[in-house]
């Protein structure tokens, strides 16, 4: 079945094959997965002024004043952000965002992964969760060759730039999707992106999401850094149409 959930300012699509599971169990797992997405959105949204994350970043509340579970969750996300910041030499840097620390570039991928965790626990035969192009897959692919995910071409609408074989996660970032929403952390200014599109594959969607954001603003330099991380591969399309990828980027024949 396919379920679409409007959440986190985008459409999250859950495509699942329950295998031998009863339809009610599949439905229940989807309901729970979606609840997880909404819960993550309530905690981390920087679009609503009163989310714990918004209050935290403007200094209206300290971490130790939040409920323990919320504080623990924010801490673990910020820890992931910190790792991604280090790994990208600052090309991903939530602490350089205007208005205070902003983990948005990692949270969507993280939340989608949490939702997949729910489906995983419910023993789905296979599942794909796709949140605005941040995709995590689980279980056996419907085709023998493994999961195949298309990467949208940044300006040829509807065309694919390439197809990638995905074991777990893939994230794409770029200015084309929603206009200028990226920030160059080294200069502290909004940017349409140093490249037209940046795609990262790897074992964690949260990290892949952050790394794709880094490549979108850090271009070749950030791509090379991603290539040095075990399990992660990157691919970028320049504004001029040039395409560069790390040596192990899993593109497959379309």
Partner 1 sequence: MRKGPIVIGATAAGLAGVLSFHSKTGSFSALPASTTAPQHQQGSSGGSAGSTSSGSSGAPASSGAGTASSGSSSSGSTAGGTSAGAGSSGGGPASPPPAKTTPTTTKLTGKVEQFGYGQLAVTVTLTGTRITDVAVSSLQVIDPTSQYIEQQAVPYLKREVLQAQSANIQGVSGASYTAQAYALSLQSALAKRPKG
Site of interaction with partner 1 (CB under 8 A): 1-6, 10-11, 13-15, 17, 23, 26-27, 30-31, 34-35, 128, 130, 132-135, 137, 141-143, 147-152, 154, 157-160, 163-164, 170-172, 174, 177-178, 197, 199, 254
Give the up-direction half-sphere exposure of residue 39: CA atoms within 13 A in the CB hemisphere.
12
* Cβ 46 to partner 1 shortest distance, Å: 17
Q: Quick one: how far is CA 99 from the chain centroid?
A: 22
**Beta strand 197-202 pairing with 251-252:** unpaired
* Cβ 117 to partner 1 shortest distance, Å: 17
* Cβ 229 to partner 1 shortest distance, Å: 19
Residues 6+ apart with CB under 8 A from 44: 51, 52, 53, 74, 77, 103, 104, 107, 111
In the complex with partner 1, the residue whose CB is nearer, 8 or 225, is: 8
* Cβ 132 to partner 1 shortest distance, Å: 4
In the complex with partner 1, the residue whose CB is nearer, 149 or 207, is: 149
* Cβ 204 to partner 1 shortest distance, Å: 15
In the complex with partner 1, the residue whose CB is nearer, 55 or 153, is: 153
* Cβ 12 to partner 1 shortest distance, Å: 9
In the complex with partner 1, the residue whose CB is nearer, 27 or 184, is: 27
In the complex with partner 1, the residue whose CB is nearer, 2 or 59, is: 2
Q: What number of other Cβ atoms are within 10 A of residue 35's Cβ? A: 14
In the complex with partner 1, the residue whose CB is nearer, 57 or 197, is: 197
To the nearest 10 degrees (0 to 180), the angle between helices 104-121 and 23-44 is: 160
* One-character DSSP codes across 41-64: HHHH-SSSTTSHHHHHHTTSS-GG
Residues 6+ apart with CB under 8 A from 7: 34, 37, 38, 41, 131
- Look-up of token digits 């918004």: 54
Q: What number of other Cβ atoms are within 10 A of residue 16's Cβ? A: 23
């Amino acid at each position: 079945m396919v379920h679409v959930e409007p959440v986190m300012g985008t459409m999250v699509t859950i495509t699942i094959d329950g295998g031998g599971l009863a339809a009610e169990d599949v439905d229940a797992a989807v309901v729970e997965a979606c609840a997880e997405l909404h819960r993550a959105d309530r905690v981390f949204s920087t679009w609503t002024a009163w989310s714990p994350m918004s209050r935290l970043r403007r200094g209206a509340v300290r971490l130790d004043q939040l409920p323990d579970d919320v504080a623990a969750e924010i801490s673990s996300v910020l820890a992931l952000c910190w790792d991604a910041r280090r790994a990208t030499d600052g090309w991903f840097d939530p602490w350089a965002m205007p208005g205070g620390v902003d983990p948005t570039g990692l949270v969507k991928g993280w939340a989608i992964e949490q939702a997949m965790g729910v489906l995983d626990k419910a023993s789905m035969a296979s599942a794909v969760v796709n949140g605005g192009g941040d995709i995590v897959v689980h279980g056996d692919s419907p085709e023998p060759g493994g999961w195949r995910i298309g990467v949208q071409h940044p300006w040829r609408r509807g065309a694919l730039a390439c197809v990638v074989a995905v074991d777990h996660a893939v994230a794409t970032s770029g200015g084309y999707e929603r206009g200028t929403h990226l920030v160059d952390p080294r200069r502290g200014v909004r940017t349409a992106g140093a490249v037209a599109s940046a795609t990262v594959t790897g074992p964690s969607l949260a990290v892949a999401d952050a790394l794709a954001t880094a490549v979108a603003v850090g271009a070749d330099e950030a791509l090379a850094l991603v290539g040095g991380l075990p399990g992660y591969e990157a691919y970028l399309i320049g504004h001029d149409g040039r395409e560069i990828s790390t040596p192990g980027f899993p593109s497959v024949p379309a």
